[in-house]
């Protein structure tokens, strides 16, 4: 069964029995909180993404996540730490999680069965862990890495698809936007070249 994580595809791995949501209460440094003492001037280092960091902080993220986002950047070490904490959080309820370098993840189990047998409960456990550690960290890391200047998505993606030979000159940015919104593309979006354009349209970090 497929589902989305911050706009990216993720998979549930067969082999999990669904367990009750038994998450410990948030500690003081994990509890949802306001922006608090964030120095808003430091968010300007995020450049065109500054408003997105500001909106995330205003959403009422946990103090742990606010500590990561408050300087207007997300480092690899911070993403890895957030993922590690979510992994340990999920283990408390019998689940496992495996993150891929491209940003997706797979949910499995420590107890056999399949998490997809009860997606409502599986998602509830995952969302509770993400609320503590990663509502925005991974998403902002991925988006600022793949498009640091926050250029128009349709423009950079269509340009990449044309360079890759996936679409021709007649394929417009408006058509891509319409197909993206509907989730149905007129080209094979499973083609590795198309996936490369989705994940790294500017060719900044990923080897195709």
Beta-carbon contacts of 11 under 8 Å, excluding residues fewer than 6 positions away, are 1, 2, 3, 104, 105, 106, 107
Report whether pLDDT(205) > 50.
yes
Report whether pLDDT(4) > 90.
no
How much of the chain exceeds pLDDT 90, in percent? 67
Residue 197's Cβ-side half-sphere holds a number of Cα atoms within 13 Å equal to: 24
Q: What is the pLDDT of residues 163-190, one digit of tens each?
A: 999 999 999 999 999 999 999 999 999 9
- pLDDT at position 116 is 67
Name the residue with higher pLDDT: 175 or 41. 175
Per residue in 121-137, is it b (16+ CB within 10 Å) or e — as a string? Answer: ebebbbeebbbbbbbbb
Beta bridge partners, 9, equal 4
Cα 49 to Cα 52: distance, rounded to the nearest angstrom: 5
- pLDDT at position 112 is 73
Beta-carbon count within 10 A of 95 CB: 26
**3-class SS of residue 20:** coil
Instruction: Lay out the sheet containing 95-99: strands in order across.
Output: 2-5, 8-12, 105-109, 95-99
Report whether pLDDT(36) > 80.
no
Report whether pLDDT(44) > 50.
yes
Cα 11 to Cα 1: distance, rounded to the nearest angstrom: 6
- pLDDT at position 38 is 52
Q: Beta strand pairing status for 105-109 and 95-99?
A: antiparallel
Report whether pLDDT(62) > 70.
yes
Q: What is the pLDDT of residues 75-117, one digit of tens each?
A: 999 999 999 999 999 999 999 999 998 888 999 988 776 776 6
Beta-carbon count within 10 A of 46 CB: 21
Total count of residues recorded for the chain: 208
Q: What is the pLDDT of residues 109-167, one digit of tens each?
A: 887 767 766 788 889 999 999 999 999 999 999 999 999 999 999 999 999 999 999 99
Report whether pLDDT(25) > 70.
no
Domain assignments of the chain as residue spans, ordered by start:
2-146, 153-199
DSSP letter at 31 equals S
Residue among 102, 124, 100, 82 nearest 115 (CA): 124
Beta-carbon count within 10 A of 105 CB: 22
Q: Supply 65's token pair.
A: 């996540």
- pLDDT at position 1 is 23
Average pLDDT, the chain: 83
- pLDDT at position 35 is 41
């Amino acid at each position: 069964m497929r589902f989305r994580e911050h706009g990216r595809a993720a998979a549930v791995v067969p082999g999990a029995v669904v367990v009750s949501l038994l998450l410990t209460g948030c500690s003081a440094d994990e509890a949802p909180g306001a922006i608090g003492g964030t120095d808003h001037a430091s968010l300007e280092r995020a450049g065109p993404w500054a408003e997105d960091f500001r909106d995330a902080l205003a959403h009422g993220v946990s103090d742990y996540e606010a500590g990561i986002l408050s300087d207007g950047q997300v480092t690899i070490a911070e993403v890895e730490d957030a993922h590690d904490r979510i992994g340990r959080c999920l283990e408390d309820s019998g689940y496992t999680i495996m993150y891929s370098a491209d940003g997706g993840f797979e949910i499995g189990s420590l107890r056999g069965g399949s998490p997809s047998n009860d997606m409502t409960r599986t998602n509830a456990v995952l969302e509770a862990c993400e609320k503590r550690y990663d509502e925005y960290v991974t998403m902002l890391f991925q988006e600022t890495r793949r498009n640091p200047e926050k250029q128009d998505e349709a423009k950079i993606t269509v340009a990449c698809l044309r360079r890759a030979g996936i679409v021709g000159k007649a394929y417009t940015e408006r058509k891509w936007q319409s197909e993206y919104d509907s989730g149905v593309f007129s080209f094979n979006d499973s083609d590795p070249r198309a996936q490369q354009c989705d994940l790294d349209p500017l060719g900044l970090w990923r080897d195709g």
